[in-house]
Amino acid sequence: MTVAIDVQGLGKAYGAKIAVHPLSLTIQQGEIFALLGVNGAGKTTLINMLSCLIKPTEGDAFLLGNSILSAKQKVKERIAVLPQETAIAPNLSVRENLRLMAGVHGFHKTVAERKVEEMLTLFSLRPVEKQRSKILSGGWKRRLSIAMALISEPEILFLDEPTLGLDILARRELWTVIQHLKGKVTLILTTHYLEEAEALAHHICIMKAGHIEALGTAEELMQRTGTQRFEDAFVNIVGGEIG
């Protein structure tokens, strides 16, 4: 197995407030890694540091061997971030949005068209390809934004709460999309839905107050806490507070 992300004593403080205490972990290439925790646990801060959006105050992290401090540009070229707010142009169609994104990444017209076709197929977007994006449902929008994030062929993709606000059917459909990416791209996702982490992730990291409280497979975390259900393991680990 090859390491995709190697976090070494990475921490972030805002003055006296420590958002993330120095922590270390490794994430293997091609795995789905879930970050769980109650509100304010430090998940977004950690993701933002790894994706070079904010600067750490301690430590370093290496993404595909590149430091987020000294090789920021190289890191940025190999990752993509799906923010909670999407980057979809509302008046453009699904196809046009994909084409636009391919243009942003500087692909030549023929390559861009091939990529658009690939994404339409991979994400089963053909039924809605001509629709204006603003009239798409939340689930389709989220699916399109993942396709847009993947058009640059990133090796690491960060998904911050990818299914937030979606109904159960749309969420399940998106799970299928995410499952198809297993092994092809390293995926780091934050979520508040425990069943989502359990269903999708190889490894789950549970954070609390800026610390890693537990890290392992869902099975391991249940075994460790002597529980039968992942939800009980989570409650046991974070001490009864659910965010």
Ligand X SMILES: Nc1ncnc2c1ncn2[C@@H]1O[C@H](COP(=O)(O)OP(=O)(O)OP(=O)(O)O)[C@@H](O)[C@H]1O
Q: Which is nearer to ligand X, 42 or 59 (CB)?
A: 42
Q: Which residues have CB under 8 Å from 198's CB, separation 6+?
A: 204, 218, 230
**Residue 37 binds to ligand X (criterion: CB under 6 A):** yes
Contacts of 185 (CB under 8 A, 6+ apart): 30, 150, 154, 155, 156, 157
Those residues with Cβ within 8 angstroms of residue 92's Cβ, 6 or more apart along the chain or in another chain? 100, 132, 133
Which lies closer to ligand X via its Cβ, residue 46 or residue 128?
46
Give, as ranges, the residues between 204 and 243 that touch ligand X (CB under 6 A). 243
Q: Does 154 bind ligand X (CB under 6 A)?
A: no
Taking the complex as a whole, the smallest distance from the CB of residue 24 to ligand X amounts, in Å, to 18
Q: Give the nearer residue to ligand X in terms of CB position, either 18 or 136.
A: 18
Strand, coil or helix: 189: strand
Which distant-in-sequence residues (6+ apart) come within 8 Å of 75 by Cβ?
Answer: 52, 63, 64, 66, 67, 68
- 19 is a site residue for ligand X (CB under 6 A): yes
Give the residue, chosen from 36, 43, 189, 230, that forms a contact with ligand X under the rule CB under 6 A.
43
Q: Does 16 bind ligand X (CB under 6 A)?
A: no
> Token match 């259900």: residue?
229
Specify which residues 23 forms β-bridges with: 10
Does residue 55 belong to the site contacting ligand X (CB under 6 A)? Answer: no
Distance in Å, CB of 82 to ligand X, minimum: 15
Distance in angstroms (rounded) separating the CA atoms of residues 111 and 187: 25
Q: Is residue 17 a contact point for ligand X (CB under 6 A)?
A: yes
Binding site for ligand X (CB under 6 A): 14, 17, 19, 37, 39-45, 243
